[in-house]
Amino acid sequence: MLEDIEKVLFHESTILSRLDELAHEITTDYRGKDLTVIAILNGSFVFMADLLRRVPLPLQVECLSVSSYHGTRTTGQVNFRQTTLADFRNRHVLLLDDILDSGHTLHAIGTRLSEGGALSLRTCVLLRKRVEREREVDADYVAFDIPNEFVVGYGLDYNENYRNLPFVGVLNEAAIQRGAKPA
């Protein structure tokens, strides 16, 4: 699996120290507020676990499962794998995602959640790609900005593989060509 990585962008220790800063900001902003964190699965499961353990506030966690990617290309279409969400009326909602790329995912979910009666809705992403968005959307909290490369690890997949790598890295061309199975 490691042979498939062209280069490491962020080692685990780099990610965790950045999450300390981000968690501190979130803790300051939401102190004394009723907070529901909604994590977008599968990509944000590692990010969610590491980030939320650094936020010493009472909060509730919900997970939302969507998909929009096939291989290394966005489909532009966001599929919701579930239809019901817990009630977050009169609560502040913080949406967590692994990466902001074209913007389709956060736009679709934001639109859907905005009908739910939340007191506020903000978004937090681990990675934000420097690309022109196809939807007008940005994130309120960003751990790292990255160039327009396809990355895997720390929750992010290529055809469902590589999510368990502890770092964020760029996949090499051979692995992309080979498709689903890691070496």
Grouping H, G, I as helix, E, B as strand and the rest as coil, residue 52 is helix
- Of the residues 43, 103, 153, 169, which one makes contact with Mg ion according to CB under 5 A: 43
- Binding ligand 5GP (rule: CB under 6 A), the pick from 5, 47, 102, 124 is 102
> Nearest to residue 118, comparing CAs of 91, 84, 85?
91
Rounded Cα distance, 57 and 136, in Å: 31
154 binds ligand 5GP (CB under 6 A): no
104 binds ligand 5GP (CB under 6 A): yes
Give the nearer residue to ligand 5GP in terms of CB position, either 118 or 151: 151
Rounded Cα–Cα distance for residues 127 and 96 (Å): 11
Minimum distance of Mg ion from residue 7's CB (angstroms):
20
CA 54 to each of CA 21, 44, 146, 177: distance values in angstroms, whole numbers, following the listed order: 9, 15, 23, 38
Which residue numbers are catalytic?
Answer: 101
| Near ligand 5GP by CB under 6 A: residue from 23, 30, 51, 105 | 105
**Nearby residues of 141 by Cβ (< 8 Å), 6 or more positions away:** 22, 25, 26, 122, 123, 124, 125
Interacting positions 45-84 with ligand 5GP (CB under 6 A)? 68-69, 74
Q: Given candidates 41, 99, 109, 143, which one binds ligand 5GP under the rule CB under 6 A? A: 99
Contact 139, 99 (CB under 8 A): no
**Whole-number Å distance between alpha carbons of 60 and 16:** 22
Residue 181: φ, ψ to 5°: -85, 120
Taking contact as CB under 5 A, which single stretch among the options 12-20, 41-49, 124-132, 137-145 is the one that binds Mg ion? 41-49
Kindly state whether residue 124 participates in binding ligand 5GP, applying the rule CB under 6 A. no
- Chain residues in the site for Mg ion (CB under 5 A): 43, 69
- Chain residues in the site for ligand 5GP (CB under 6 A): 43, 68-69, 74, 97-105, 150-152, 156-158
